[in-house]
Structure 1
Amino acid sequence: MSTSRFTLYYYYSSFCSQKVLLALFEKDCRFNRKLVNLHTGEQNSPDYMRINSDGLVPVLKDGEKIIVESDKIIEYIDKEVKSGPKLIPDPNTSAGREVLRLRNLMADINVRLLTFGVIANQELSISGVKMPRIFLKIISGRSGRDMVTNLERNAVKYPDLRQAYLTKAEKTRRSIDDAFKKENVVKCLDDTERTFDQLEESLQSSQAGVSGKEYWLTGSQFNVADILLAVIMDRLTILGLEDRFFSKSRRPLLFDYQQRIGQKKSVQMLRAEAKKIGPLLLLSSVKSVAPYVGSVSVLVLAVGASIWYLKNK
């Protein structure tokens, strides 16, 4: 068992959790894991809301200190953990300024809207969303509305957290509404397209300034900007959008970049994390919908999810 000073509260499919996991793996940092299952609503439990009033993952605990928000967690890790490479260059250097520019550029990509918007409007996917169909129905259907209802109930049940629950209920309601408005998702995809044009240009500049094949977004050092891009590209691949954003014909350097990041140990560890915890999460998801469906449907869901996992492990 790990005796690390760090404990990470996370969920694998959370985009922000993936960024932090990849940073920890890059830094070769040991940490204790606390899985917060978003499908079963653990992030909205009173105990967790008292850790993070926004009810979001990830959260990093260092002793009694609690750090929330993925970017702040990565910055904290990079400062506190001496092993592994430096992820965030000095902002007063040219490299640091370029990394900051790219982080700000990619921060404008609304990954949440892309994720739930493409799930809700699957005709926007190019190669098909790579998730079990039953999960797509759960995510795009009843679960979001039920979450809003449960948050509103908790606001009454736990008066000390009333405002936190009501704030999250309203944010969740808006996110659901946005995801089902196809025009919002199309605009987000178009905006992301322009961002990827700029990322292709950054790779061109980086390639020209580095001798050899080992080049990343800002040069020879894989850093926090690359962490962000790697996780965004993996999310776009899951959504079946890889041919739109980084195909060999449209953006060859980003296509090559995607092939090369798959060879990095830290990225392989990140992708393996899903395989390791997959059966547990699938079982939890089956249990979470059990109150809404009959026993036969639950059995079909469990079998279907298991077959999907075995095919994709």
Structure 2
Amino acid sequence: MTPDHLNSDATDPGVYRTLLESTRAIPWRIDWATMRFSYIGPQIEDLLGWKQSSWLSANDWAERIHEEDRQKTVDFCISQSQNGVDHEADYRALTSDGDYVWIRDVVHVVRRADGSVDSLVGFMFDITERKQAEDKIVQLQRELEVLSYRDSLTNVANRRMFDTLYPVEWAKARATGEPLSLVVIDIDYFKHYNDHYGHLQGDDCLRRVAQALDAGASRSRDLCARLGGEEFVLLLPATDEAAARNVAERCRKLLAQKEIPHARSGVGRLVTISMGVGTIVPGADDDAHVFLDRVDRRLYHAKSAGRDQVCAAEP
């Protein structure tokens, strides 16, 4: 075949059409003056179900965009086209049977010699599988983020979550003038428990204690977190001193109801907890770390005073 034959075939409109209609991408062209389709590939029927002949104007395109994506997609494409800017848009296109397909529309603005817009030409690509894969990755990332703030053993929040939320709730309490309460908890004689029952049983004990504490701090903004080992903390926003002490006592009762045997406890025959409670309306001169240390000292006072009790005042 000579070069002349090649040039002749390449300029044949039928060759262009065959090439366009053999690709999975869907070619289209809209006349700018009338906003009507002068062409759209027959592949559109296989992808969306709408007849090729039903794509008459830009309105048909807009009406077949998912309603949640429609306005922003149309506004973006019109703005870019009016400014003569080539662009891409991802959106959900509705199928004739009521489902949707993710589309990436790649748009090229064709100009006349004088610079005015003549038409828009482009390709639609089915990116549904890609979007589903991207959504799965985002979902996994969110799950991993949740897990990074969750104690893997007890399934309550971990120290990282407490360290993240505590300064936020502190700042909010200072801004609103609402009281903020902390309850720091330690399982009594837990080392003796582990030595006697073994670490597997000890892990189960930690889980059951965490369940009782999490149930005791029951409001949506309350946080139960494991600080490490056998130590836990309750972060109680908008909670005054009396209410915080009630939460602490409720947690002790819920744990008592579980009746977890502890043959090596120095205060009885069941697993118990000691708790330090503190409440503050943070002022400009108050420090969150100092307050946490104060509540922590109350916990150790409860332990030194005999354990299985709540200390809500300075020793």
Q: Which has the higher strand share?
A: 2
Q: Which has the higher helix share?
A: 1
Fold match, TM over 0.5?
A: no
Which protein shows a greater Rg? 2
Q: Whose relative contact order is higher, 1 or 2, with alpha carbons under 8 Å and at least 6 apart? A: 1
